[in-house]
C-alpha cells in the first residue's frame, strides 16, 4: 500500500490534460510508442472530436523510482457540470491531483470548481504549468496566479511541456514524493468505492472501483450496498492499457470487476462494494442516486423508424446508466420516447451518439424540468412534459425546482453575468473575491432557466471565462403556464412548452416569428398562433403562394424538370402534416434556437 499513488488531473479545456496523460503513459512504459495514438484515454470517437472527456476512465502505470516499484493509478474525470457528481466520486478515489495550467492562458475558470472539489476532499495539489515551449508562455505571471490561488511555495510548481516531453520526470517524481500513499485498513471488512463502469458487449458491465478498506479476491462473493445485489467476482484485475487479470486487489489500489452484470442500472457510481459475509457496516459516504434533471421527447424523423430507434435507445442505455426513457406518442410526431437526461450537454451527447453510432436522425422536443403540480384534491403530480399538464382549472398549486448556482469568473464579467442571471429570474445571494481578479457569485435561480441555453450564454458573455456549478435547493411555488402553438387552429403538441407567466408573451412572439421563417408558403394562408388556454397572445401569418418549382425552367429541359419534381417529393417525406398544414422537420427544432 505504501507504494500506491492515486491521482487525477484537473485542467481547463485545451490546457493539455490528454496530452500530458499520453506522456505519462509513455514515460512509464505503460504503452509503447507503437501503441501510442494521440490522446489515448479519450477512446470514444465523440470524445475525441469534441475534445472533452465524457466518462471517467482509469489507467494504471508502474514506475521505478530509487529502485522501488510504485503503482500509479491515473483516474480521469469528466469536466462538465452535468457530470459533477461523477467528478466528485472520482476525486474521492484519489489522494492527489495534478492541476494543469496553460502557460500562455493562465488560470481559467473551468478548472476552479474541480480544484475546490479536490481541496474539499483534502487532495494534495501539484500545480503544473504546461506549454512552456510556447513563445507566448508567461511563466512568471502564471506562477503568481497559482500562488495567489492556492497559497503554495513557487518552487513546488512544476514547469512542463507535455508536447515536447519536458518536465515529465519531475511530474512523476512529484506524484511519488508528494501525493500521500492511500490510508485504509487492510484487515477491515471490504469497502470498494465504485467510481465508473464500462459496458462490454461480451462480458457485461465492467465495474471500476477503488479499495478503501480490506481487499478483494477473485471468486469472492460480493454485495453492492446501495442496490443490495450480490455477485461473484468472476474476474478482477488492473486496468493497464488492456485489462490485466489478478487474484487480488489490495487495500488502496484501483481495479476492475467483471461478474456478468448485464444491466447498467445495477452499477451505480458512488456505491460501495463489500463482501457478502463479513460485510462492512456502512457505505462509503457521498453516495447519491443520479436523477435526470432535463426531460425531452426524442422522435424518429421518419415515423417508420420507431422500432429501430427503440433498439438504439436500448443499446445506448446499456452503457449510459444515467439515461432513462419510456415510450411516448405525439399527435404531431407520432411514436417516440420521453427521455430523462442529467443536463443539456448529456442530452446533446445522446442525440449525437444516436446519429453517429446508430445512424439515426431524430427530432428532439423542447427540454423541460420536472414540475410538481398539486391538484384541487390535494394530490401531487410530477409533470415533465407539457402534455402532462392538467387543465389550469384543476390546479391548486404549481412548483418548480430551484438551484443554488455558483459562478466563478474574472472581475470584468461580473456585471454582464448578473444581468444574465436576473434575466433568467435569478436572485444574487453572494459575491466573494477569491483572488484580486477572481470572483465567486452565488445565485438562487430556477433550474428551468439554466437547463435551456444558460451555459452557452454564460460562456459567450464571459468568453469562456466562467465556470458554473449547481446543486438543487428545492421546489417552490411559481407562476407557470402551458403555452401552445396552433397552426390554422390546430395545436402542435410537439411545440408546446411550460414557461413562466412573465415570459410567456416574449416566448410566444419569438416562436411565432421563427416558425414564420421556417414554414414554406402553401396554397392557402397559414395562421401561426401562440396561446395560453383559449387566449391567443401572439400571431404571425404565412401568406399563400402557389408553389411551382418548375416555373424557373423555361420549358425546354425536361430531365431537369423531372429532377426538381423528384427533389420536391423527397422533401415532402421530411414534412409532417398538422391538420391541413405541412410542417418541415426544422420547425420542430426551432424552439431550441429561440433568442
Ligand atoms: P485537454 O483539453 O486538456 O485534454 O488538452 P489536449 O491535451 O487535448 O491539448 C490541447 C491542445 O494543446 C492540443 O492541440 C495539444 O497538442 C496542445 N498541447 C498540449 N500540451 C502542449 C504543450 O506542452 N505545448 C504546446 N505547444 N502545445 C500543447
Ligand atoms: Mg482531453
From 275, 307, 327, the end of a domain falls on 275
Cα angle 424, 425, 429; round to 5: 110
- Determine the distance separating the centroid of ligand 1 and the alpha carbon of 16, expressed in angstroms: 4
Q: What's the rounded Cα separation, in Å, for the pair 210 and 249?
A: 9
- Return the CATH number at 430: 3.30.70.240
Are 354 and 341 in a shared domain?
yes
Tell me whether residue 131 is annotated as binding: yes
Tell me whether residue 16 is annotated as binding: yes
Are 546 and 572 in a shared domain?
yes
Are 144 and 220 in a shared domain?
no
Range of the domain at 318: 294-365
Ligand nearest to the CA of 20: 1
Report if residue 203 sits inside a domain: yes
- Return the CATH number at 11: 3.40.50.300
Residue 134 Cα: closest atom of ligand 1: 26
Sites in the chain below the pLDDT cut of 50: 48, 50-56, 571
Q: What's the rounded Cα separation, in Å, for the pair 594 and 504?
A: 13
- Return the CATH number at 571: 3.30.70.2570
Tell me whether residue 370 is annotated as binding: no
Report if residue 183 sits inside a domain: no
Global ipTM:
0.98
Residue 11 Cα: closest atom of ligand 1: 3
Are 536 and 468 in a shared domain?
no
Report if residue 287 sits inside a domain: no
Mutate to test the pocket of ligand 1, among 36, 38, 163, 167 (most ligand atoms within 8 A of CB): 163
Residue 13 near ligand 1, beta carbon < 6 Å: yes
pLDDT of residue 265: 81
Residue 15 Cα: closest atom of ligand 1: 3
Report if residue 565 sits inside a domain: yes
Are 10 and 130 in a shared domain?
yes
- Determine the distance separating the centroid of ligand 1 and the alpha carbon of 141, expressed in angstroms: 20
Q: How many domains does the chain have?
A: 5
From 347, 365, 383, the end of a domain falls on 365
Residue 166 near ligand 1, beta carbon < 6 Å: no
**Backbone torsions φ then ψ of 558, nearest 5 degrees:** -65, -45
From 439, 461, 477, the end of a domain falls on 477
Are 501 and 571 in a shared domain?
yes
Residue 129 near ligand 1, beta carbon < 6 Å: no
pLDDT of residue 560: 63
pLDDT of residue 570: 52
pLDDT of residue 589: 74
pLDDT of residue 554: 53
Are 8 and 131 in a shared domain?
yes
- Determine the distance separating the centroid of ligand 1 and the alpha carbon of 467, expressed in angstroms: 20
Tell me whether residue 80 is annotated as binding: no
- Closest of 57, 19, 6 to residue 243, by C-alpha: 57
pLDDT of residue 427: 96
Report if residue 339 sits inside a domain: yes
Are 124 and 136 in a shared domain?
yes
Residue 279 near residue 436, CB atoms below 8 Å = no
Report if residue 280 sits inside a domain: no
Tell me whether residue 409 is annotated as binding: no
- Determine the distance separating the centroid of ligand 2 and the alpha carbon of 10, expressed in angstroms: 11
Crossing angle for the helix pair 109-120 and 84-92, to the nearest 10 degrees: 40
pLDDT of residue 107: 81
- Return the CATH number at 248: 2.40.30.10
pLDDT of residue 574: 64
Are 165 and 201 in a shared domain?
no
Are 13 and 111 in a shared domain?
yes
Are 334 and 387 in a shared domain?
no
Nearest CA to ligand 1 atom 22: 131
Report if residue 185 sits inside a domain: no
Cα angle 452, 458, 462; round to 5: 165
pLDDT of residue 406: 87
Task: Go through the chain and tell me how many residues it has.
Answer: 595
Are 575 and 486 in a shared domain?
yes
pLDDT of residue 568: 54
Report if residue 284 sits inside a domain: no
pLDDT of residue 56: 44
All residues with CB under 5 Å from ion ligand 2: 18
Amino acid at each position: 500500500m505504501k507504494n500506491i499513488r492515486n491521482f487525477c488531473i484537473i485542467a481547463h479545456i485545451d490546457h493539455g490534460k490528454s496530452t500530458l496523460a499520453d506522456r505519462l503513459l509513455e514515460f512509464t512504459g505503460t504503452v509503447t510508442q507503437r501503441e501510442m495514438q494521440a490522446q489515448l484515454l479519450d477512446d470514444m470517437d465523440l470524445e475525441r472530436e469534441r475534445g472533452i472527456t465524457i466518462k471517467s476512465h482509469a489507467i494504471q502505470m508502474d514506475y521505478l523510482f530509487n529502485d522501488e516499484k510504485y503503482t500509479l493509478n491515473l483516474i480521469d474525470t469528466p469536466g462538465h457540470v452535468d457530470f459533477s457528481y461523477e467528478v466528485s466520486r472520482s476525486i474521492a478515489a484519489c489522494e492527489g491531483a495534478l492541476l494543469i495550467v496553460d502557460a500562455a492562458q493562465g488560470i481559467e475558470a473551468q478548472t476552479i470548481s474541480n480544484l475546490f472539489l479536490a481541496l474539499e476532499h483534502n487532495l494534495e495539489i501539484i500545480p503544473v504549468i504546461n506549454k512552456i515551449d510556447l513563445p507566448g508562455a508567461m511563466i512568471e505571471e502564471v506562477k503568481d496566479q497559482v500562488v495567489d490561488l492556492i497559497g503554495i511555495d513557487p518552487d513546488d510548481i512544476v514547469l512542463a511541456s507535455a508536447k515536447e516531453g519536458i518536465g515529465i520526470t519531475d511530474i512523476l517524481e512529484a506524484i511519488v514524493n508528494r501525493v500521500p500513499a492511500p490510508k485504509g485498513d487492510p484487515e477491515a471488512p471490504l469497502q470498494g468505492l465504485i467510481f465508473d463502469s464500462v459496458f462490454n458487449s461480451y462480458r457485461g458491465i465492467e465495474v471500476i472501483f477503488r479499495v478503501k478498506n480490506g481487499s478483494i479476491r477473485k471468486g469472492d462473493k460480493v454485495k453492492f450496498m446501495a442496490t443490495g445485489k450480490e455477485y461473484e467476482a468472476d474476474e478482477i484485475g488492473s486496468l493497464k492499457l488492456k485489462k490485466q487479470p489478478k487474484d487480488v486487489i489490495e487495500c488502496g489500489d484501483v481495479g476492475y470487476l467483471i461478474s456478468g452484470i448485464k444491466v447498467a442500472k445495477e452499477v451505480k457510481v458512488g456505491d460501495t462494494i463489500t463482501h457478502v459475509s463479513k460485510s462492512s457496516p456502512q457505505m462509503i459516504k457521498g453516495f447519491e442516486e443520479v436523477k435526470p434533471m432535463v426531460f425531452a421527447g426524442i422522435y424518429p424523423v421518419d415515423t417508420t423508424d420507431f422500432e429501430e430507434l427503440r433498439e438504439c435507445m436500448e443499446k445506448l442505455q446499456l452503457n449510459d446508466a444515467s439515461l432513462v426513457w419510456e415510450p411516448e406518442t405525439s399527435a404531431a410526431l407520432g411514436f417516440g420516447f420521453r427521455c430523462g437526461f442529467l443536463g443539456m450537454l448529456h442530452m446533446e451527447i445522446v442525440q449525437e451518439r444516436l446519429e453517429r453510432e446508430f445512424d439515426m436522425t431524430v427530432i428532439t422536443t423542447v427540454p423541460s424540468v420536472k414540475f410538481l403540480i398539486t391538484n384541487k384534491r390535494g394530490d401531487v403530480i410530477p409533470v415533465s412534459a407539457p402534455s402532462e399538464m392538467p387543465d389550469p382549472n384543476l390546479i391548486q398549486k404549481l412548483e418548480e425546482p430551484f438551484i443554488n448556482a455558483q459562478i466563478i469568473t474574472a472581475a470584468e464579467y461580473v456585471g454582464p453575468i448578473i444581468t444574465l442571471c436576473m434575466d433568467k429570474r435569478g436572485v444574487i445571494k453572494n459575491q466573494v473575491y477569491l483572488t484580486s481578479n477572481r470572483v465567486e457569485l452565488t445565485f438562487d435561480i430556477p433550474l428551468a432557466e439554466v437547463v435551456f441555453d444558460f451555459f452557452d450564454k454564460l460562456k459567450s458573455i464571459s468568453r469562456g471565462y466562467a465556470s458554473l456549478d449547481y446543486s438543487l435547493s428545492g421546489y417552490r411555488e411559481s407562476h407557470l403556464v402551458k403555452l401552445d402553438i396552433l397552426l390554422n387552429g390546430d395545436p402542435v403538441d410537439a411545440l408546446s412548452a411550460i414557461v413562466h407567466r412573465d415570459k410567456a408573451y416574449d416566448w410566444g412572439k419569438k416562436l411565432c416569428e421563427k416558425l414564420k421563417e421556417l414554414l414554406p408558403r402553401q396554397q392557402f394562408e397559414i395562421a401561426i398562433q401562440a396561446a395560453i388556454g383559449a387566449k391567443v397572445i401572439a400571431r404571425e401569418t404565412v401568406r399563400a403562394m402557389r408553389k411551382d418549382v418548375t416555373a424557373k425552367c423555361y420549358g425546354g429541359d425536361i430531365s431537369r424538370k423531372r429532377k426538381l419534381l423528384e427533389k420536391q417529393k423527397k422533401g415532402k417525406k421530411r414534412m409532417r402534416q398538422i391538420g391541413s398544414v405541412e410542417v418541415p422537420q426544422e420547425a420542430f427544432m426551432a424552439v431550441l434556437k429561440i433568442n
